[in-house]
Amino acid sequence: MDPCAGRTNDIIQYDVRKTYIPMFRLPPLKALRAFEAAARHESLSKAARELNVTHAAVSTQVKLLEESLGVRLFRRLSSGLAPTPQAMRYYKTVHQAFNQIHQATTDLLDSGAGDPLTVSCLPNMAMHWLLPRLYGFNLRHPDIKVNVLTAPRSLDFDQDAIDMAIWWGEGWPNQISRYLFSAEMVPVCSPGFLASTPLDSPADLVRVPRLHVQGTMEDWALWFEHAGVAAGAPAEAGTRFDSLAFALRAAAEGMGVAMGRLPLMEDDVRLGRLVFPFDIRYRPRKAWHLVYPPVIAKAPRIKAFEAWVLEEAAKSPYRLDRP
């Protein structure tokens, strides 16, 4: 006979509650901080100065702790405070706990101090602005290694494992963004294309090959409106690229007219690779920003890179009041 017959429910029994961590009774943290400082200094006034609060605030928190614990912690004397014997035992443990929390926090922050700083940047911005300046950051902060990721048009800090981004746009919900500088949009093409293509007015650009960048398909429409060109051919008609860098290179090779952005193409214009068929410039609301998650805002490497980027951006003549 099967000894287990009739005992299907007689499996190992255990108390499910024991698999959970019990909820410990903990007093308010602010009250503990006030108690620890007051016991260490044996003075409410000195504790208040250390915590940067008023004498009354410390006194209130100590009373709150006494009421929460149901134990008298201090004897009020004319010369100050005297912790009770129970309070002194409690103080030693609380003081040690705060030191352990402080050390654990320091260790946590230090554990990521040597990690590379990964910065996401659109290719054209990386080539013409960030990389020519990045050596200066390396000289100033040789202990911080910077990885530059020339990313697609979406921005996802978690999925792409990036720390910061130098990005074109406006408004990033739930992120910190620091304005760097604005841009001016102006059509550009190669000298050869301009010489072989009669262009008498901005309206003539409606009928020539135009070059576009994914994610900024509205640029031509905005510029045409600014230049006073009535609606003609679809503003988005023409060859598309996933990066402004490629669109500008195609324009330099004579493939058509691209909507460029100053100051990032200043070198191409200065060297004669690109020219303006019409020097009509439009400054959009969108601009270049440094963007990063708030959770890492206090990390030393984040603060160092932010300070450096803002310092470099402040030198730009395009750091203007936004429209």
Joined together, the tokens standing for residue 72 give 């008298």
Averaged pLDDT, 296-316? 93
- How far, in Å, CA of 55 to CA of 116, rounded? 45
Region of 82 on the Ramachandran plot (φ > 0 left; ψ -120 to 50 alpha; else beta):
beta
Q: Where in the chain is the domain with CATH 1.10.10.10?
A: 29-111
- Percentage of the chain with pLDDT > 90? 58
Domain 117-182+287-313 maps to which CATH number in 3.10.129.10, 3.40.190.10, 2.40.40.20, 3.40.50.1440? Answer: 3.40.190.10
pLDDT bin (cut points 50, 70, 90) of residue 233 is low
Which pLDDT does position 171 carry in this prediction? 85
Euclidean distance between CA atoms 26 and 228, whole angstroms: 69
Q: What are phi and psi of 199, to 5 degrees?
A: -130, 105
How does 69-98 read in b/e, with b if 16+ C-beta sit within 10 Å? beeebbeeeeeebebeeebeebbeebeeeb
pLDDT tens, position by position, 122-147: 888 999 999 999 999 999 999 999 99
**Which pLDDT belongs to residue 1?**
44
Residues 184-224: tens digit of each pLDDT: 999 999 999 999 998 999 999 988 999 998 878 788 889 99
DSSP 306: H
Q: What is the pLDDT of residue 153?
A: 62
Q: Tell me, what's the pLDDT at 10?
A: 43
| Domain(s) of CATH 3.40.190.10: residues in the chain | 117-182+287-313, 184-270
For a pLDDT cut of 70, what percent of the chain falls above it?
87
pLDDT at 238: 76
Whether the per-residue pLDDT at 57 is higher than 60: the answer is yes
Task: Give the pLDDT confidence of 247-297 residue by residue, as tens digits.
Answer: 999 999 999 999 999 998 999 999 999 999 999 999 998 899 999 999 999
Please state, rounded to an integer, the average pLDDT across all residues of the chain.
Answer: 86
18 pLDDT above the threshold of 60:
no
Residue linked to tokens 């654990």: 104
Residue 8 scores a pLDDT above 80: no
- With 0-12 / 13-18 / 19 or more C-beta atoms within 10 angstroms meaning exposed / middle / buried, residue 124 is buried
Which pLDDT does position 323 carry in this prediction? 44
Structure-token pair, residue 88: 């002194």
Say if residues 310 and 316 touch (Cβ distance below 8 Å): no
pLDDT band at 4 (very low <50, low <70, confident <90, very high): very low
| Multiple choice CATH, 29-111, 1.10.10.10, 3.40.50.1370, 3.40.50.12160, 3.10.580.10 | 1.10.10.10
Count of other CB atoms within 10 angstroms of residue 21: 5
- Which one, of 173, 139, 138, lies nearest residue 157 by Cα? 173
For the cut 70, the answer to whether the pLDDT of residue 7 exceeds it is: no
CA dihedral 250, 256, 259, 264 (to 10 degrees): 30
Q: CA-CA distance, 242 to 151, in Å (whole number)?
A: 10
Residue 211 in tokens: 């070059």
Cα–Cα distances in angstroms (integers) from residue 125 to residues 60, 71, 262, 278, in the given order: 55, 63, 11, 24
Least reliable range by pLDDT among 6-15, 30-39, 101-110, 261-270: 6-15
Structure-token match 């014997």, residue found: 85
- CATH number for the domain whose boundaries are 184-270: 3.40.190.10
Nearest residue to 109 via CA among 254, 300, 270, 263: 300
What local confidence, expressed as pLDDT, does residue 14 receive?
Answer: 41
Which tens digit of pLDDT belongs to each residue from 32-47? Answer: 999 999 999 999 999 9
Find the mean pLDDT for residues 39-64. Answer: 92
Residue 113 has pLDDT above 70, yes or no: no
